[in-house]
Structure 1
Amino acid sequence: MATFSSSFFCLHPPTLHQQTSNTIRTKSLKRTKPKSLTIVSGGYDIRKEEIVIVGAGIAGLSTAVSLHRLGVRSVVLEQAESLRTGGTSLTLFKNGWKVLDAMGVGDELRSQYLEIQGYDGYKNRKWKRAAIIQLQRRRSKSTKCVFGAYGNSQEVRAVERRTLLETLAKQLPLDSISFSSKLANIEKQEDGETLLELDNGSRISSKVVIGCDGIRSPVAKWMGFPEPKYVGYCAFRGLGDYPDGQPYESQVSYVYGRGIRAGYVPVSPTKVYWFVCFNSPTPGPKITDPSVLKKQTKELIKKWPSELLNIINATPDDTIIRTPLVDRWLWPGLSPPVSSGGAVLVGDAWHPMTPNLGQGACCALEDAVVLVQKLVPALKAGPTFIEDALRSYQNERWLRIFPMTVRANVVGAILQWENPVVCAIRDNVLVPKLIKLGPMLEHTNFECDPLLQNKMMFSSVKHLTAMAKFSSSFLPLYSSSLRQQRTIFSDAYNIRKEEIVIVGAGIAGLATAVSLHRLGVRSVVLEQAESLRTGGASFTLSTNGWKVLDSMGVGDELRSQYLDIKGVVIETENGRQLRSMKLREDQNREIRPVERRTLLETLAKKLPPDFISFSSKLATIEKQEDGETLLELVNGTRISSKVVIGCDGIHSPVAKWMGFPEPKYVGYCVVRGLGDYPDGQPYESCVNYVFGRGMRAAYVPVSPTKVYWFVCFNSPTPGPKFTDPSVLKKQTKELFKKWPSELLNVIDATPDDTVIQTPIVDRWSWPGLSPSGSLGGAVLVGDAWHPMTPNMGRGACCALEDSHVLVQKLAPTLKAGPAAVEDALRSYRKERRLVNFTLTVLSNFVGAFLQLENPMVCAIRDKVFATRK
């Protein structure tokens, strides 16, 4: 909660239970089947448990409650003598509340805490610097955000940590929590179970060990994770107490300055939470006297707004704490896996993050429910299935947790800036501009079904295992067991029957068809053009794209034709080099540009002759009563299909039918081409990038005889469509005539018919606000669902990923009926939505940053690139 409101503009009376010795006495939920029993092995004095949870914090208790609601027993080991109810308050956004609702405790907590209505931010006008930063002689309103202006889907409340823990603990049976149980040793056993030894001599062998033991987790240390790293600033926190009622509006009030910031927010009618963050080169000594902490805090911000000082004065000394802030980045391929055998991590034990997005507790709650939903169906199937379930949990959660950890760190770094010039840009340019986009809370979107004992997320363990294995390694797609489906004609209604119809024979459509074909599933691809649309120049495929192509069996065929990119060179329009670097030699990293024509032709060759139907333009789409989708083509043909996959590009008719708006022009255009050197191109295999003001360009060797190039330029409108490529080429050379000669030489070597101009567009698919990516048996893939700007080179890769994830989820359900198919499509949408949305937004921001025109801001941008390590 320390910096809870920063997520709005950047890149987040309780009933006490009785305690008796080492257990919590509470009324348990009614069980529908007998409780699992603890087995004691007398010969070895080892207690047997199915699931042991280490740590009775938010992560541990929420995991235990989730398991309990599904009828699964667990034991929670807590080293303290009672619940550790210290700390002040934390923020729960709508994702956290959805999980609490799933556990059945949401309404109980809502009734005690205020809903936060919005955000008010202030910036500082005068500065004074002494041994510590002291500021805020006078202030001015900088930003204001009201949640209601952006829809009613957001829910934000500050909750006391003590109350949350006690509420969760009350949901558990009497013997669930064992206090004074400190872990001494962990050991993997030959039978696959994990042996835990406590400092009191007790030994427990468990099928599953779930580490929920916080940022200094012994379980994480045993699994090879390093200690979290200090990020360079600390936080004071406290909870102001107003027995007669607090006087503040239900909103976050935020004050930020140079190397220091603060905020306060009403928690309940009588409590107000506050924090102060300040830069410090070291974490500093641990202070045990809270009165000293209170005095230090007041001295640090003594010239700040009086409201903040009044709240600190109203704070009981024993609620004030000082925390050095830390995090740990989970680098893919470098960090240890989250699971080892039957041991797994949840919450801060796995991914400690700074509180700048207010998402620490929410992510712990999400982790708990996702883990439980994947684990429970696998418990009776044996160790292999359990390990697959834990890997599936890692694959799903890593894609959400790693970007959020990085984003929280970046937000904190921006808000802790000290340089006056950079702070001025932040206060007057960055923050106001981002506020106009809304509260930027897309990371709080999360879907969660109620945890009911008879309701499982997955239809079968077999299905679960397939998902887990695929997600981790893009396994090769091959099947000899599935029979080819045949087309059926219904003469009575003159309607052709198909099981799967793919609309569009672009990258997404052909990749989906090839993936299905390799699993023995027939599909029909409808393409409105008379042949493959092989126009366009080249695009970049990075490691993830190549993994998908390898799984389709076409990776090596394409690699043999194209160069691996070895480095990056960045210079200004006048030829001054800003940066030159070699890409790290890494067998797991692969970046190659590929010609669009070659990729399409290679994929098409993998399909039988009758799979692609050209000159098949879609006229209408209609949902039928039997759940199938009826497609009518302009030539009068009608096709009824169980599954319709829209892969028909940025102006997709399928997406339009599903309610998606047209993509929006982002303010700049791009001209692309492919330089041709029959006798061999002269350039090194690296990306050569040139920055200007409102303009940029790049060129990169594609093959021994081809060089791809592009130029981007700001334009208030998309402009006219050019039909004469020679005119387009001439205009491009005129626009960039004073730029480096190498770029102009590549343009000169480009055949006219390969030069194209494209207005750049994207569409942000806001979770909870935008239409769903699937509707019945219809679903979208690639640009049809998430058109994004090309600034991160991820459009083609995301289309390939989409197709592969969709096929892996869809294929096992085709024989199970419409409900199973729709569940598979929802699962695909849930897994891919966050990744694609995040990339779309980041790509947009990268483009806006690189297309800046202001001379001062461009100079700072160039300086950043020149000095960045």
Structure 2
Amino acid sequence: MTQQARAVVIGGGIGGLAAAAALHRTGWTVTVLERAPSLDPVGAAISLAPNGLRALDVLGIGDEIRDLAAWQGDGGLRTPGGRWLSRSSATAAADRFGGPLVLLPRATLVDRLAALLPPGAVRTASPAALADAGDRTRPARVRAGADELEAELVVGADGVNSRVRGALFPVHPGPAYAGFTTWRVLVPVPGAEFASHETWGPGRLWGTHPLKDGRVYAYAAATAPAGEHAPDDEKAELLRRYGDWHDPIPAVLAAVRPEDVLRRDVHHLAQPLPAYHSGRTVLLGDAAHAMPPTLGQGGNQALEDAVVLAFPHARLRTGGGTAGGADLAAYTAARLPRTTAIARRAVRAGRLGMTGNRAVAAVRNTVITALSTAGPALFLRGFDGIADWRPPYASGREHAGQR
């Protein structure tokens, strides 16, 4: 009897769990090593565009996640005083890209992905290090505490500060500070009724979005020195920066407790990697192509990575696959150009939205309004060539039913 091919995934975030689920679905024996004591995700919510939802179709949970969509009416871009710069709607987004945009708590998606794996596949409190990337003649090796695991495939899904990436490409400079910091909150706001929106001010932005479960997800970003923190607490910092902005921002801030606020500096891979694989080891998600959150594509690209890695290699679905250089080179060829281009667009979007020059911001706002009057909302145009991605099969939903 042929032994099943073994895969070890380092990192139990959204990308790592999706990769593990995709590999399990195609016949691999999968182990996920997560250094945290639980799978409780860092971060409040995640935005899933139609491209990410199509990747979830391949895993069989796309429609379940689509049912969580809360954005039903108008939305768009506003100024701090409340004036709309650009408006769009859930219907327009679905018509343009063939599906909705879904915002949901990260914990919900993590739970759904983890449920796709067999019992015991995920080991928490298990920091891991790549001991040997492997090659065609020998398996890769991973150290996890006192244990050493051998595998035909290792997936590095350990985030922006990836140790696996450092082991594969030690001369790469690693992540760079993007020049701004972010705050995120997920809170109930009694009686809140508003259109989903993002608001751009000089050097600052704010987004407010209702979720299906009745809570509100809000995020903010501002240019700031790396490592800076509020002298008192981060709620107070948000009040100083955004407390006089348009409704419903003051109401959201009133509902926030200091302990609800998650602040994090944004780092990205300003220099692309030469490849996303070496030997029997691949990189996925932020470990491969960390990008600013300005297009909301970090998680979506990790989901794309996961299904592209697992499913096109039909010859690797059962034991005996090599997961060698030629096979993983196809993964690099499929993913590196696309993710590099999207990361660059995210950087440009950040520069546009975060400019601190008031004169430049005024011109930006005028151009956005004019462009949106002449055609589809700028908010939607920014996803052209991104949200319309489809898995490299005839249909993600059709493939979801295959084993």
Distance 1:102 1:382 in 2: 21
Counterpart position of 1:196: 142
Q: Deviations over 1:122-141 (max 9, x none)?
A: 22xxxxxxxxxxxx4x4433
The 3 A distance-change label for structure 1 pair 312 and 150 is closer
Superposed CA offset, 1:524-568 (max 9, x none): xxxxxxxxxxxxxxxxxxxxxxxxxxxxxxxxxxxxxxxxxxxxx
The one-character-per-residue Cα deviations of 1:12-37 (angstroms, maximum 9, x if unpaired) are xxxxxxxxxxxxxxxxxxxxxx9967
CA contact (8 A) 2:294 2:347 kept: yes
Deviation, structure 1 residue 375 = 3.6
Q: Residue 174 of structure 1 aligns with which residue? A: 119
- Name the amino acid aligned to 2:141: L
Matched residue, 1:219: 164
Which of 277, 289, 295 does residue 339 from structure 1 map onto? 277
- Give 3-state SS (helix, strand or coil) of 2:155's partner: strand
Q: Deviations over 1:766-807 (max 9, x none)?
A: xxxxxxxxxxxxxxxxxxxxxxxxxxxxxxxxxxxxxxxxxx
Alignment equivalent of 1:273, drawn from 217, 220, 224:
217
Alignment of 1:374 onto 2:321? no
Are positions 1:352 and 2:299 aligned together?
no
Larger radius of gyration: 1
Contact 1:71 1:453 in 2 (8 A): no
Residue by residue, what CA displacement relative to the aligned partner does 1:142-186 show, whole Å, maximum 9, x if unpaired?
221224346632311111001110111111111211111111452
Distance (whole Å) between structure 2 residues aligned to residue 454 and residue 106 of structure 1 = 15
1:86 is paired with a residue of what secondary structure? coil
Residue of structure 1 in register with 2:236 after alignment: 295
C-alpha deviations, 1:603-650, integer Å up to 9, x for none? xxxxxxxxxxxxxxxxxxxxxxxxxxxxxxxxxxxxxxxxxxxxxxxx
Q: Are 2:227 and 1:283 aligned? A: yes
- Is 1:260 the equivalent of 2:204? yes
Task: Tell me whether 1:319 sits opposite 2:260 in the alignment.
Answer: yes
- Between the aligned partners of 2:50 and 2:29, the Cα distance in structure 1 is 28
Q: Distance in 2 between matches of 1:453 and 1:281?
A: 49
Q: 1:567-578, aligned counterparts within 5 Å? A: none
The one-letter code sitting in structure 2 at the alignment partner of 1:433 is L
Could you state the TM-score of these two structures normalised by the residue count of structure 2? Answer: 0.88
Q: Structure 1 residues 88 and 151, CA, compared in 2 at 3 Å: closer, same or farther?
A: closer
Does residue 387 of structure 2 align to residue 444 of structure 1? yes
| TM-score normalized with structure 1 length | 0.42
- Once the two structures are TM-superposed, the CA of residue 366 in structure 1 deviates from its matched residue by 0.6
- Check conservation: 1:118, 1:252, Cα contact below 8 A: yes
Cα shift at 1:110: 3.4
| Matches of 1:454 and 1:233, distance apart in 2 | 44
- Which SS does the other structure have where 2:78 is aligned? strand
Secondary structure at the counterpart of residue 337 of structure 1: coil
Seen in structure 2, the aligned counterparts of structure 1 residues 407 and 188 have a Cα distance that, compared at 3 Å, is closer
Whole-angstrom CA distance in 1 between matches of 2:64 and 2:193: 24
| Equivalent in 301, 310, 313 of residue 251 of structure 2 | 310
How many residues are paired up?
Answer: 387
How far, CA to CA, are the matches of 1:52 and 1:453 in structure 2? 25
Does the CA contact (< 8 Å) of 1:234 and 1:325 recur in 2? yes
The 1:276–1:35 alpha-carbon spacing in structure 2 relative to 1, beyond 3 Å, is farther
Greater RCO structure (CA 8 Å; 6+ sep): 2
Q: Write out per-residue CA displacement over residues 570-597 of structure 1, whole angstroms, 9 at most, x where no aligned residue.
A: xxxxxxxxxxxxxxxxxxxxxxxxxxxx
Give CA deviations for 1:303-341 in whole Å, capped at 9, x if unaligned. 21241121122235443200111211454xxx3311001
- 2:266 aligned partner, one-letter code: L
Deviation at 1:216? 0.9
Would the aligned equivalents of 2:185 and 2:217 in 1 still touch at CA under 8 Å? Answer: yes
Q: What is the CA deviation profile of residues 662-704 of structure 1, one whole-angstrom value per residue up to 9, with x for unaligned ones?
A: xxxxxxxxxxxxxxxxxxxxxxxxxxxxxxxxxxxxxxxxxxx
Q: Distance in 2 between matches of 1:115 and 1:70?
A: 34
After TM superposition, the structure 1 = structure 2 runs for residues 5-24 of structure 1, keeping only pairs within 5 Å, are none
Question: For the residues of structure 2 that align with 1:35 and 1:239, how far apart are their CA atoms?
Answer: 48
Change (3 A) 1:35 1:58: farther
Residue 403 (structure 1) aligned to one of 333, 341, 351: 341
The equivalent residue for 1:66 is 22
Pair 1:161–1:149, CA change in 2 (3 A)? closer
Corresponding residue for residue 163 of structure 1: 108
Question: What are the residue-to-residue correspondences of 1:240-639 with 2, within 5 Å?
Answer: 240-242=187-189, 246-249=191-194, 251-285=195-229, 292-331=233-272, 335-378=273-316, 380=319, 382-383=321-322, 386-433=324-371, 436-438=374-376, 439-440=380-381, 441-442=383-384, 443-448=386-391, 449-450=396-397, 451-452=399-400, 454=402
Paired residues for 1:758-769 under 5 Å: none
Q: CA deviation at 1:188?
A: 3.9
RMSD: 2.5
Tell me, yes or no, if the aligned pair for 2:208 and 2:217 is still in contact at 8 Å.
yes
2:91 is the alignment partner of 1:148: yes
Closer/same/farther in 2, CA of residues 345 and 256 from structure 1, 3 Å limit: same
Q: Is the 8 A contact 1:230 1:283 kept in 2?
A: no
Whether the aligned pair in 2 keeps the contact of 1:116 and 1:156 (CA below 8 Å) is no
Following superposition, the deviation at residue 423 of structure 1 comes to: 1.3
Q: Percent identity?
A: 25
* Equivalent in the alignment of 1:206: 151
Measured after TM superposition, the shift of residue 189 of structure 1 is 5.0
| Structure 2 unpaired stretches of 5+ | none
CA contact (8 A) 2:51 2:388 kept: yes
1:23-172 paired onto structure 2 within 5 Å: 50-123=6-79, 136=80, 138-149=81-92, 152=95, 153-172=98-117
